[in-house]
Amino acid sequence: MRIAGRMVLAVALPAVLFAIWWFATANSTNFYLPPLREILRIFPDVWTGDRLRTDVLPSLLRLAAGYTLAVVAGIALGVLVGSYRAVRAVLEPVLEFFRAIPPPVLVPVIMLFAGIGDTMKVVVIAAGCVWPILLNTVEGVRAVDSVLADTCRSYRISGPARLRHLVLRGASPQIAAGMRQGLSIAIILMVISEMFAASNGLGFAIVQFQRGFAIPDMWSGILLLGLIGLVLSLLFRLVESRALAWYHGLRRVQRGS
């Protein structure tokens, strides 16, 4: 019963808003605000079939490649920087500077080196979202529990085992926080890099619709981007709650006591 109640609560407002949108635009003659019915009707035509293969899939692949690259590089460098106090002191201001550069301005810079192909987009995505992952990893590695570190030392746990069981494990909640920030930056950069210079991709397609005044198609693209953002963040949360189950449990116990 309580679960049913919560379900109703969760669905109620979105349903109401959706209904408002549907009825408010039902007879809309405003060129920029087409009826929702129209948008939903063309949605499958626009985004399934050819376009799925030529625009949506390449975008998502580039996103995956860039994000994976950023995660691997961010964690590797972060562990390195976080483990040595001197390295951290030397690099911290430089890293803060790079993090403060708004990622989209990297697009014109990286275009110089990598042209306008897939490489450019993957590099842009990676170069933009690596900073939160890197800096959070540094923080996480630095804040590894000193008792655990000493325990490791007295048991002579070192090398890969120490890295895996102490450093990465201990830093993983922070790393996950960085990865979550990185993911939303990665989606933004996927779209921006394609709006800037591309011959395919989601961002490209949406801008084409807008320039060609195919307004319902453009709206359907905005909806699709929103859905992708939502699904990816849900997926991330699912994976995170699995992988960090021990941490969330620990937090609950600590808070309860």
> 140 or 221, CB closer to another protein?
221
For position 4 contacting another protein by CB under 8 A, the verdict is no
Distance linking the first and last C-alpha atoms of the chain: 29
Which residues in the 214-243 window bind another protein by CB under 8 A?
A: 215, 218, 221-222, 225-226, 229-230, 232-233
For position 150 contacting another protein by CB under 8 A, the verdict is no
> 40 or 168, CB closer to another protein?
40
- Residue 12 Cβ vs another protein, minimum distance, rounded to whole Å: 7
What DSSP designation does 105 have? G
Query: How distant is the alpha carbon of residue 130 from its chain centre?
Result: 11
Taking CB under 8 A as the binding criterion, the range among 137-145, 149-157, 180-188, 248-256 that sits at the site for another protein is 180-188
The contacts of residue 249 (CB under 8 Å, 6+ apart) are none
> 57 or 91, CB closer to another protein?
91
The contacts of residue 134 (CB under 8 Å, 6+ apart) are 73, 74, 77, 78, 81, 95, 178
> 212 or 246, CB closer to another protein?
212
Query: How distant is the alpha carbon of residue 6 from its chain centre?
Result: 28
Q: Please count the residues of the chain.
A: 257
> 137 or 193, CB closer to another protein?
193
**Which of 1, 4, 13, 253 touches another protein (CB under 8 A)?**
13
C-beta of residue 240 within 8 angstroms of C-beta of residue 176: yes
**Which of 19, 20, 49, 92 touches another protein (CB under 8 A)?**
92
Work out whether the CA dihedral 188, 192, 195, 197 comes out positive or negative.
negative
Where do the DSSP E strands lie in the chain?
A: none
- Residue 42 Cβ vs another protein, minimum distance, rounded to whole Å: 16
Q: Write the DSSP assignment of 177-189 as a string of letters.
A: HHHHHHHHHHHHH
C-beta of residue 43 within 8 angstroms of C-beta of residue 220: yes
**Site residues (CB under 8 A) for another protein?**
6, 9-14, 17, 32, 85-86, 89-94, 96-109, 111-113, 184, 187-188, 191-192, 195-196, 203, 206-207, 209-210, 215, 218, 221-222, 225-226, 229-230, 232-233
